[in-house]
Chain A
Amino acid sequence: MLSAPLVVGASFAYLLLLFAVASLGDRRAAQGRSLIDNAWVYALSMAVYCTAWTYFGSVGRAATSGIWFLPIYLGPTLAMVLAWMVVRKMLRIAKSYRITSIADFIGSRYGKSPTLASLVTLITVVGIVPYIALQLKAVSVGYAVMTGPAGQPLAQQGHWWNDSTLYFAVALAAFTVVFGTRRLDASERHEGMVAAIAFESVVKLLAFLAVGLFVTYGLFDGLTDIYTRVQAVPELAQLFGNQAPFAYGQWFSLTLLAMLSVILLPRQFQIMVVENVNENHLRRAAWVFPAYLLLINLFVLPVALGGLLLFGSGTMDPEAFVLSLPLAHGQPALALLAFLGGLSAATGMVIVETIAVSSMVCNDLVMPLLLRSRRFGLQARGDLTRVLLVIRRTAIFLVMLLGYLYFHLAGEAYALVSIGLISFAAVAQFAPALFGGMYWRGGTRDGAMAGLLLGFGLWIYTLMLPSIAKSGWLSTDFLLAGPWGIGWLKPEQLLGLSGMDNLTHSLFWSLSANLAAYVAVSLWRGPTTAETSQALLFVEVFRRSKTVEPVFWRGRTRVQDLVALTTRFMGAQRAQRLFLDYAQRTGVQRIDQIKPDPQLVRHIEVQLAGAIGSASARVMVASVADEDALVLDDVLQILDEATQLRAHSIELEEKSASLERATTELRAANAQLKSLDRLKDDFMSSVTHELRTPLTSIRALAELMADDPQMPDGQRQQFMRIIVTETERLSRLVNQVLDLAKIESGHAQWHNTDVDLTELLKNAVKTTAEMFHERGTEVRLVLPAQPVVLRADPDRLTQVVLNLLSNAAKFVPAEHGRVDVDLTPLADRVRVTITDNGPGVPQSEQTLIFEKFHQGQGGGYRPQGTGLGLPISRQIVEHFGGRIWVDAQTRSGASFVFELPWHTMESGNPAGTGENPTPGHPVPT
């Protein structure tokens, strides 16, 4: 055990640390350098889902029923699979219409109904009180474990003014007030709070993992060790046996419940929807958050089983194993860390939950009533911002006190886990109205009302009352025998439906009745105009373009009236800024020049909704404007105009998109033209250079001969011979240039026949035999036995082979030179390889040598040649659909390879002219 001052001191220090993080977050937000504009922070903040229940309740549940803590976390994972569609729609709706709470969402969707919003708020407050009580209970149990001697039962509470939990509750409420209600933010965003929540999520996870690792590897030898020991104890082994049939129904209902709660709990909605900074963060958070859940649950079973093994069942409260195990095994620091983790979890939940609930209470419960009173209401003129803040702060304290009251009255009898599930079942009642409203235009206010009332009523009857009765505050007669003895009205076995645990039973009745009533009543009456317009805005939120939005409002108003209204609820400074921004956007200089059209009214109403809720905003705006009641025809007409405008703007967008495309294409074509132009210039300069060289020699020699008639005959003969050689070279060059030009431009003549490659190669080698013999080079020819027949131009192919052979001849060494010519038929093509044992082609040049006028730079000498042989060869080979390249794998010497497909193709004309070529038969290897 640890001393009380130490635990209190550490807790206080930790809470101060949280507060520091929150302040930092708020300060950075004010500077515009948001701390939380980050998908990871968003995902971590969602982990506020894990409360003290995760710390204590899960372990307790695992200790009594094995794997049954898991559905509470599997459900959210399943929900997050759909989050990218569903939650994103909620985000879009919330951002578009300034929705700041679930009550606002539902109220706004069904025609901005204040009654509906109030009902949702009421349900939330009643439903969430047990959950808050749970957190208080967890902290007080934890504190008792930390500071009391081990094994001692919880000390009696005594009088309420002695109860430390009460002071803790009050302190926490004060803390929350400072956290979240220092000023009124029209968008209800609290960046500091989110930063603190993300921080405490990390602390939670690390602390739990630390304890888990300690138990699994410090107190035992790993998971298998724990399990083997569990098998030895029969009453523990049955946690994993299957003596009783597996309750699939309960499994399903728990999963479903958790799935709904991860979105519908006020704190989850607040964090996921209201506090969201950027829609795209959802993409990453949708899987990071489930990963967090998996990590934090990894060691729940080991800790639970470890505790049962070491303490035996029945002596220590399993819900406190995370604390009692380290404490009992000499790790007080670890226990303190775990306590702080649990405290972290509890405070995080309480802060976010009470802030969310207080804003709901203020906007959707109290404000509508206030506005009806004379002092604060429509006729009054005073500044209401202070009043709003006071209302919220009071709400926070009230909710906390209610939580404490519940804890005091009913917290003892029930394990933590059950309390939490009761709250889940309450918020689950919002599902038909909320999700139905997002996807079904036919959902009406009356339907939502009917569904909520029925569902909530059944929840009270089948879950809430029994829980109070089981804690001893009501007689349990009505539980056992039904109210007034009517058997089929038994709260936990309605209409005789038995065989389910009470949670599944309650969920079944409440959700079914809720959904049925919602659908039935909506279909019966049909939506009103206000509901239709809101339904369209919600269900089709993804299709609304930013520029053209239908505004369902007709009437007259004055700008000054709107300014005054806004000043009342948002303060003079913010109101001025709002109107100045709008003036700028619509292109006018002064506020009084703004046109008071429906767009302005809608804009102002939406901004106000952020401060006081959509329902109250609607009421206030209606009070300063002279409105025309909209009938269905008006709505349709407005829609029509909007659709036309939208069609126009879509057309415009398409036109500008195609314009952009055309511009890009033009630009690309221009760039290509420029590069081709450059290529042409390069070619011209290379060709003229190549032509000039031999011409210069010829001229020089001719001049020499002309100037010196006395030149000796021998020398004259020699000069003549050189001139002849150079002219030959010149004409070769000119021929090749013409050849290349013809091939490239597609004007070359191709005389395609059936060509036997074996014959062709033999002829080529024979033609060059003399040349090779002169150099003492050995030429080896490897051919398959059968003919290899393709359809091609034999002269052109011979040209290619001769070119490769003569290149080989140029580079082959003077002694022991060797050239290998191989013909290899493959499955879909024929390969010819010509290898020499010369210096080879350096890797850097292997593609360059096929460029015009490039000659090998390696080797040190520049052999005679035009530099056009290989480019022409490449053009010829590619014309027939083949490839030519230097084999990079050859280690010594150069290996030129070209391949031709069996069905040779003339570029542009598939299969050439005339009949299909007969493919040669590949030789089996």
Chain B
Amino acid sequence: MTRGQVAQKLLALFCAAAMVLNYPLLSLWTPGSIVFGLPLLPVALFAIWALLIAAMAWLLERSGD
């Protein structure tokens, strides 16, 4: 991947993450339902967070010259 492509993909990832972690998509996780015996919001937030980090790692490590 060229430098420019990495930058574009990161920018897209940023926008996607910002949308998922804020209103309105955040409202998907705010009702107090239970998943795996644990409350939805913390679980969802940590899961999204972990996925975001994994996506960043994949993009950045693969673009190494």
Quick check: A291 and B53 within 8 Å, CB to CB?
yes
Which residue of B has the minimal Cβ distance to A288? B57
Query: Is the contact region of chain A dominated by helix, strand, or loop, or is it mixed?
Result: helix
Chain A 74-90, CB within 8 Å of chain B: the 1/0 string?
Answer: 10011011101100000
Quick check: B36 and A67 within 8 Å, CB to CB?
no
B residues in contact with A227, CB < 8 Å = 37-39
Quick check: A67 and B53 within 8 Å, CB to CB?
no
B residues in contact with A246, CB < 8 Å = 26-27, 30
Which residue of B has the minimal Cβ distance to A225? B37
Chain B 14-49, CB within 8 Å of chain A: the 1/0 string?
Answer: 100110011100110011100011110110011001
What CA separation (Å) do A283 and B36 show in the bound complex? 35
Pick from A188-196, A247-255, A358-366 the stretch touching chain B. Answer: A247-255
Quick check: A248 and B22 within 8 Å, CB to CB?
yes
A residues in contact with B56, CB < 8 Å = 80-81, 286-287, 290
Q: Which of A223, A242, A287, A291 has the most CB of B within 10 A?
A: A287
Closest Cβ–Cβ distance, residue B52 to chain A (whole Å):
6
What CA separation (Å) do A77 and B49 show in the bound complex? 8
B residues in contact with A248, CB < 8 Å = 22-23, 26-27
B residues in contact with A286, CB < 8 Å = 56, 60
B residues in contact with A74, CB < 8 Å = 21, 45, 49
Closest Cβ–Cβ distance, residue B7 to chain A (whole Å):
5
Q: Known contacts A284-B61, A287-B60; is A224 also within 8 Å of B37 by CB?
A: yes
A residues in contact with B17, CB < 8 Å = 77-78, 81
Q: Known contacts A78-B17, A80-B56; is A298 also within 8 Å of B64 by CB?
A: no
Quick check: B63 and A283 within 8 Å, CB to CB?
yes
Which residue of B has the minimal Cβ distance to A223? B38
Q: With an 8 A cutoff between CB atoms, is A301 at the interface?
A: yes
What CA separation (Å) do A84 and B61 show in the bound complex? 12
Chain A 263-302, CB within 8 Å of chain B: the 1/0 string?
Answer: 0000000000000000000011011001100100010010
Query: Is the contact region of chain B dominated by helix, strand, or loop, or is it mixed?
Result: helix
A residues in contact with B27, CB < 8 Å = 246, 248
Which residue of A has the minimal Cβ distance to B24? A248
What CA separation (Å) do A242 and B34 show in the bound complex? 13
Closest Cβ–Cβ distance, residue B49 to chain A (whole Å):
6
Closest Cβ–Cβ distance, residue A246 to chain B (whole Å):
5
What CA separation (Å) do A815 and B46 show in the bound complex? 74
Q: Known contacts A246-B26, A248-B22; is A84 also within 8 Å of B37 by CB?
A: no
Which residue of A has the minimal Cβ distance to B18? A78
Quick check: A294 and B46 within 8 Å, CB to CB?
yes
A residues in contact with B6, CB < 8 Å = 84
Which residue of A has the minimal Cβ distance to B7? A85
Q: How many chain B residues have a CB neighbour from A under 8 Å?
A: 34
Quick check: A78 and B61 within 8 Å, CB to CB?
no
Quick check: A84 and B50 within 8 Å, CB to CB?
no
What CA separation (Å) do A925 and B10 show in the bound complex? 51
Q: With an 8 A cutoff between CB atoms, is A889 at the interface?
A: no
Q: Known contacts A283-B60, A284-B60, A287-B57; is A70 also within 8 Å of B45 by CB?
A: yes
- Pick from B7, B32, B50: contact of A294, CB under 8 Å: B50
Quick check: B38 and A224 within 8 Å, CB to CB?
yes
Which residue of A has the minimal Cβ distance to B52? A77
What CA separation (Å) do A294 and B48 show in the bound complex? 11
Quick check: A81 and B61 within 8 Å, CB to CB?
no
Q: With an 8 A cutoff between CB atoms, is A240 at the interface?
A: yes
Q: With an 8 A cutoff between CB atoms, is A241 at the interface?
A: yes
Q: With an 8 A cutoff between CB atoms, is A228 at the interface?
A: yes
- Pick from A77, A80, A228, A240: contact of B37, CB under 8 Å: A228
B residues in contact with A224, CB < 8 Å = 36-38
Residues of chain A from 153 to 178 with CB closer than 8 A to chain B in the complex: none
B residues in contact with A78, CB < 8 Å = 14, 17-18, 21
What CA separation (Å) do A251 and B23 show in the bound complex? 9
Which residue of A has the minimal Cβ distance to B27? A246
Closest Cβ–Cβ distance, residue A88 to chain B (whole Å):
10
What CA separation (Å) do A78 and B52 show in the bound complex? 9
A residues in contact with B64, CB < 8 Å = 283
B residues in contact with A66, CB < 8 Å = 41-42
Closest Cβ–Cβ distance, residue B56 to chain A (whole Å):
4
- Pick from B22, B37, B46: contact of A298, CB under 8 Å: B46
What CA separation (Å) do A291 and B11 show in the bound complex? 19
Residues of chain A from 704 to 738 with CB closer than 8 A to chain B in the complex: none
Residues of chain A from 36 to 75 with CB closer than 8 A to chain B in the complex: 66-67, 70, 74
Quick check: B18 and A67 within 8 Å, CB to CB?
no
What CA separation (Å) do A727 and B7 show in the bound complex? 74
What CA separation (Å) do A252 and B37 show in the bound complex? 28
Quick check: B7 and A84 within 8 Å, CB to CB?
yes
Which residue of B has the minimal Cβ distance to A238? B32
- Pick from B10, B32, B41, B49: contact of A84, CB under 8 Å: B10
Q: Known contacts A70-B45, A290-B53, A291-B53; is A240 also within 8 Å of B39 by CB?
A: yes
Which residue of A has the minimal Cβ distance to B13? A81
Quick check: B10 and A82 within 8 Å, CB to CB?
yes
- Pick from A82, A85, A242, A294: contact of B49, CB under 8 Å: A294
- Pick from B32, B46, B53: contact of A241, CB under 8 Å: B32
Quick check: A255 and B21 within 8 Å, CB to CB?
yes
Closest Cβ–Cβ distance, residue A255 to chain B (whole Å):
7
What CA separation (Å) do A607 and B41 show in the bound complex? 52
A residues in contact with B10, CB < 8 Å = 81-82, 84-85
What CA separation (Å) do A224 and B43 show in the bound complex? 12
Residues of chain A from 190 to 242 with CB closer than 8 A to chain B in the complex: 223-224, 227-228, 240-242
A residues in contact with B22, CB < 8 Å = 248, 251-252, 255
A residues in contact with B23, CB < 8 Å = 248, 251-252
Closest Cβ–Cβ distance, residue A239 to chain B (whole Å):
9
- Pick from A84, A240, A242, A251: contact of B60, CB under 8 Å: A84
Closest Cβ–Cβ distance, residue A452 to chain B (whole Å):
26
B residues in contact with A80, CB < 8 Å = 56
Which residue of B has the minimal Cβ distance to A291? B53
Quick check: B45 and A242 within 8 Å, CB to CB?
no
A residues in contact with B31, CB < 8 Å = 242
A residues in contact with B53, CB < 8 Å = 77, 287, 290-291, 294
Q: Known contacts A224-B36, A227-B37, A252-B23; is A81 also within 8 Å of B7 by CB?
A: no
What CA separation (Å) do A78 and B39 show in the bound complex? 24
Which residue of B has the minimal Cβ distance to A73? B49
Which residue of A has the minimal Cβ distance to B50? A294
Quick check: B32 and A240 within 8 Å, CB to CB?
yes
Closest Cβ–Cβ distance, residue B34 to chain A (whole Å):
8
Which residue of B has the minimal Cβ distance to A227? B38
B residues in contact with A251, CB < 8 Å = 22-23, 26
B residues in contact with A70, CB < 8 Å = 42, 45
Beyond A78-B17, A227-B39, A228-B37, 5 additional contacts (C-beta under 8 Å) are A81-B17, A248-B22, A283-B61, A287-B57, A290-B53
17 A-B pairs in the complex with CB atoms less than 8 angstroms apart:
A77-B52, A81-B13, A81-B52, A82-B14, A84-B6, A84-B10, A223-B38, A227-B38, A227-B39, A255-B21, A283-B61, A284-B60, A287-B53, A290-B49, A294-B49, A294-B53, A298-B46
Contacts from A to B (Cβ < 8 Å): 66-67, 70, 74, 77-78, 80-82, 84-85, 223-224, 227-228, 240-242, 246, 248, 251-252, 255, 283-284, 286-287, 290-291, 294, 298, 301
In the A-B complex, the 3 residue pairs with the closest CB atoms: A248-B23, A224-B37, A287-B56
